[in-house]
């Protein structure tokens, strides 16, 4: 029994109630195991059995309720562009009408009757052209399934405005109900247009990232080059990359020399030189020379593919505050309808006459749609995810960004995190120089910064790498084990290698050694410059009351030197990867909220153990994939920017929710007219309604500012 999980764009949703309706309708279909709607991105993720359900089945279940699924990304993009253009036309039309109504009402001029009649006719046309397709039809289709939504409130508000305006016009009075319909349409459409612009920006970001992938590749097979779909190429195969073409897959250069532009993927400002042993990434641009690479990941497993998946997952995730707002918004429509009914009963019970009770009930409906509560967090969350992605900061879930300001303890790895990760060999002591080509071969095949530094030094000495087959294994916290046909070679810490060669433990100042099981090969002293630009950020954390510690597998003396340079007072050296994770777990049990910043394979456990795991620029693949947040640009700039973005997201979502709750608590009783002589007209209610929603949207848009 085949079970598939598919994502579709949903057309026709206007609020969280719509999202719940779509979920309910889909989950009632035989064969559908689960349906999850992400209102912020207008998407639904459906898991179903292919023998019992299909796309057409899903589409047929939603169509009677006024919803439609778009499976194809191209169709989604086309629909979005058309809908945005249509919304803009509607905004202009209703804006002209709203301005016309304001002139008629507020200028102290005795307008002739035909102008009022013309305005009334134009308002009816606008309600028919705009209101029926966008609000009335969806509201009716949803009500047939017993699902009142925000469209219901808008439709009742428009209907009430038209009816009361007609009665006013017939009686010769020109009250505000007549202009309320145009104002309601205009202000709601402005808010919706701004929302759709944000969604369109998110969609373009996804499309731009996906477009970096090359659809075809030049594969070497049986001595000749053939162009095939990239999806068919498997790890281990060789691929030719011509100048001025896109690197199709992740791999290692086995022949050639060129410069590669990695700016779109990593933010690297200048082209990077690539030679034999260098790593290249799918989506980057080969500039000058021809490269041959050995593929290391299939199309679905490349770093680029992982970034797209991470961004999709982040956009679908929900913040804690968003879940709270969704629960409240879920009952909001029913509460407003009940309050409108109670308003009628209250004023009729007090003996009010004429249209007064009906105007108060209409004001309650108008002032409540669309609900700013439903916009308060989704918009801010989407904008923060977009801003992070555009700034080369990739989130796995928005909860990581939401939790970051709560972190009371910041733990840092040393090598590659607080240091540049570009070590240089300062001193070497050779016992068996004949092994140098094998060490170069090991360094070229490894991502570890110390191994790469050794390879760089050996290349400068004009040493050629050994041609022998290699099986390389990295032991986190210890070093590298290379298996050649002639035997094993170890490269790593003195503490680790001392179990075979105890004399290495006393090698003062020489921190890395190479050896075979039988004898030492060489000793090396390496230096890795400290990221001194991180010191102001660490001081900022300390001033705000955060506890900052250094956790490293390196010797305590080397760790204290780095800590002293950056102003870190707590240092824990000589820790294995498991001990790092256990240390973090112990602090969590003590009530600390832990953020861990690391970069290497030996940091994977710690990144997973922390409340917030941050993989810094140029992290090893497993570390970047394990972390909740991956930084794709210089750590010195990205880490402070991430910290400030997290605080701004929290501040803005809190402000939005406070405003939404406060607005409804104050405005709805005023619209109900509970205090004699103090009430809101339908037109004024429409203005306040729009201001509440637009205020939330504009406040959220502040997140697009550069951090």
Q: Note the pLDDT of residue 317.
A: 63
Q: Note the pLDDT of residue 707.
A: 46
Q: Note the pLDDT of residue 504.
A: 74
Greatest C-alpha distance within the chain: 107
Phi, psi angles (nearest 5°) of residue 326: -65, -40
Pick the most confident of 18-32, 205-219, 313-327, 373-387: 18-32
CA distance linking residue 70 with residue 72, whole number of Å: 6
Does pLDDT of 549 surpass 90? yes
Q: Which residues pair with 44 in a beta bridge?
A: 8, 37
> Are 384 and 401 spatial neighbours (Cβ–Cβ below 8 Å)?
yes
Of 284-293, 477-486, 541-550, the one with minimum mean pLDDT is: 477-486
Does pLDDT of 275 surpass 60? yes
CA distance linking residue 123 with residue 88, whole number of Å: 18
Does pLDDT of 270 surpass 70? no
Report, as an integer, the average pLDDT of 195-202: 75
Q: Which residue has the higher pLDDT, 319 or 20?
A: 20
Does pLDDT of 308 surpass 80? no
Per-residue pLDDT band at 625 (split at 50, 70, 90): low
Q: Which residue has the higher pLDDT, 526 or 579?
A: 579
> Are 165 and 681 spatial neighbours (Cβ–Cβ below 8 Å)?
no
- Which residues are CB-contacts of 611 (< 8 A; sequence separation ≥ 6)? 403, 406, 407, 588, 593, 594, 595
- Which residues are CB-contacts of 379 (< 8 A; sequence separation ≥ 6)? 40, 195, 198, 656, 696, 697, 700
The percent of residues above 90 in pLDDT, for the chain, comes to 10
Per-residue pLDDT band at 584 (split at 50, 70, 90): very high
Does pLDDT of 621 surpass 60? no
Q: Note the pLDDT of residue 350.
A: 83
Handedness of CA 18, 36, 205, 392 (dihedral sign): positive
Report, as an integer, the average pLDDT of 341-363: 85
Per-residue pLDDT band at 509 (split at 50, 70, 90): very low
Does pLDDT of 410 surpass 60? yes
Q: Note the pLDDT of residue 178.
A: 65
Per-residue pLDDT band at 466 (split at 50, 70, 90): confident
pLDDT digits (tens, 9 = 90+) for 156-172: 888 888 888 788 777 76
Q: Note the pLDDT of residue 582.
A: 92
Report, as an integer, the average pLDDT of 621-626: 62
Give this prediction's pTM. Answer: 0.69
CA distance linking residue 412 with residue 410, whole number of Å: 7
Q: Which residue has the higher pLDDT, 182 or 268?
A: 182
Nearest to 210 by CA among 389, 455, 367: 389
Q: Note the pLDDT of residue 140.
A: 83
End-to-end C-alpha distance for the chain, whole angstroms: 49
Phi, psi angles (nearest 5°) of residue 159: -60, -45
b/e per residue 30-69 (b: at least 16 CB within 10 A): ebbeebbbbbbbbbbebebeeeebeeeebeebbeebbbeb
On average, the pLDDT of the chain sits at 81
DSSP label at residue 393: E
Does pLDDT of 315 surpass 70? no
Q: Note the pLDDT of residue 558.
A: 72
Q: Note the pLDDT of residue 358.
A: 86
C-alpha dist (Å) from residue 201 to 7, 88, 206, 208: 19, 16, 9, 10
Report, as an integer, the average pLDDT of 5-17: 78
Q: Which of left, alpha, beta for 58 (phi over 0: left; psi -120 to 50: alpha)?
A: alpha
Strands (E), 60-215: 68-70
Asked if the bond preceding 41 is cis, omega within 30° of 0, the reply is: no
DSSP 90-105: HHHHHHHHHHHHHHHH
pLDDT digits (tens, 9 = 90+) for 648-681: 988 988 888 888 788 878 888 888 888 777 778 7
Q: Note the pLDDT of residue 647.
A: 92
Does pLDDT of 694 surpass 80? no
CA distance linking residue 159 with residue 181, whole number of Å: 8
For residue 144, give both structure tokens: 């047939």
């Amino acid at each position: 029994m085949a079970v598939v999980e598919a994502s579709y764009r949903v057309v026709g949703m206007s609020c969280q109630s719509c999202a719940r309706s779509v979920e309910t309708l889909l989950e009632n279909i035989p064969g559908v195991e689960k349906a999850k709607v992400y209102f912020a991105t207008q998407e639904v993720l459906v898991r179903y059995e292919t023998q019992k359900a299909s796309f057409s089945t899903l589409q047929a279940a939603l169509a009677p309720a006024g919803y439609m699924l778009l499976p194809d990304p191209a169709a989604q993009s086309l629909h979005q562009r058309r809908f945005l253009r249509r919304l803009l036309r509607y905004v202009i039309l209703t804006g002209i009408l709203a301005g016309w109504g304001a002139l008629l009402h507020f200028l102290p001029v005795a307008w002739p009757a035909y102008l009022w009649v013309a305005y009334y006719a134009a308002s009816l046309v606008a309600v028919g052209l705009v209101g029926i397709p966008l609000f009335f039809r969806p509201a009716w289709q949803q009500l047939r399934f017993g699902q009142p939504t925000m469209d219901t409130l808008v439709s009742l508000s428009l209907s009430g405005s038209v009816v009361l305006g007609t009665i006013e016009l017939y009686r010769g009075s020109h009250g505000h109900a007549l202009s309320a319909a145009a104002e309601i349409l205009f202000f709601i459409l402005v808010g919706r247009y701004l929302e759709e612009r944000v969604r369109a920006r998110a969609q373009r970001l996804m499309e731009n990232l996906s477009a970096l992938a090359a659809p075809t590749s030049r594969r070497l097979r049986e001595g000749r080059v053939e162009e095939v779909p990239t999806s068919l190429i498997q790890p281990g195969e060789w691929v030719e990359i011509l100048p001025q073409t896109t690197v199709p897959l992740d791999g290692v250069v086995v022949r050639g020399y060129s410069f590669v532009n990695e700016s779109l993927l990593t933010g690297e400002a200048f082209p990077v030189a690539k030679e034999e042993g260098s790593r290249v990434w799918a989506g980057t641009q080969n500039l000058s020379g021809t490269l041959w690479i050995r593929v290391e990941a299939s199309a679905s497993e490349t770093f680029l593919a992982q970034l797209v998946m991470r961004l999709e997952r982040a956009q679908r995730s929900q913040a804690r505050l968003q879940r709270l707002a969704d629960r409240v918004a879920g009952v909001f429509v029913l509460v407003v309808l009940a309050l409108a009914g109670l308003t009628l009963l209250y004023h009729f019970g007090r003996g009010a006459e004429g249209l007064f009770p009906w105007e108060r009930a209409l004001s309650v409906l108008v002032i409540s749609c669309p609900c700013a509560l439903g916009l308060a967090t989704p918009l801010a969350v989407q904008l923060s995810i977009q801003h992070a992605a555009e700034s080369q900061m990739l989130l796995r879930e928005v909860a990581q960004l939401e939790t970051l300001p709560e972190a009371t303890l910041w733990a840092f790895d040393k090598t590659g995190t607080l240091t540049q990760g570009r070590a240089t060999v300062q001193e070497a002591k050779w016992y068996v120089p004949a092994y140098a080509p094998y060490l170069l071969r090991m360094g070229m095949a490894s991502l570890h910064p110390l191994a790469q530094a050794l390879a760089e030094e050996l290349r400068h000495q004009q040493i050629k790498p050994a041609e022998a087959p290699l099986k390389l294994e990295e032991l986190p916290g210890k070093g590298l084990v290379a298996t050649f046909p002639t035997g094993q070679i170890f490269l790593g810490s003195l503490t680790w290698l001392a179990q075979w060669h105890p004399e290495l433990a006393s090698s003062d100042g020489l921190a890395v050694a190479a050896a075979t099981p039988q004898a030492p090969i060489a000793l090396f002293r390496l230096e890795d410059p400290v990221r001194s630009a991180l010191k102001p950020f660490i001081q900022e954390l300390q001033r705000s009351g955060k506890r900052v510690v250094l956790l490293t597998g390196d010797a305590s003396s080397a760790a204290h030197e780095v800590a002293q340079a950056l102003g870190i007072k707590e240092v824990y050296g000589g820790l294995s990867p498991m001990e790092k994770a256990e240390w973090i777990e112990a602090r969590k049990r003590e009530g600390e909220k832990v953020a861990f910043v690391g970069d290497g394979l030996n940091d994977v456990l710690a990144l997973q153990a922390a409340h917030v795991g941050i993989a810094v620029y140029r992290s090893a693949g497993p570390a970047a994939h394990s972390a909740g947040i991956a930084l794709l640009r210089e750590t010195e700039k990205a880490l402070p920017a991430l910290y400030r973005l997290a605080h701004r997201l929290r501040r803005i979502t809190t402000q939005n929710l406070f405003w939404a709750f406060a607005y409804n608590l104050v405005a709805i009783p005023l619209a109900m007219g509970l205090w004699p002589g103090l009430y809101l007209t339908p037109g004024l209610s429409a203005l306040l309604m729009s201001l509440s929603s637009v205020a939330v949207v504009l406040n959220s848009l502040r997140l697009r500012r550069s951090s």
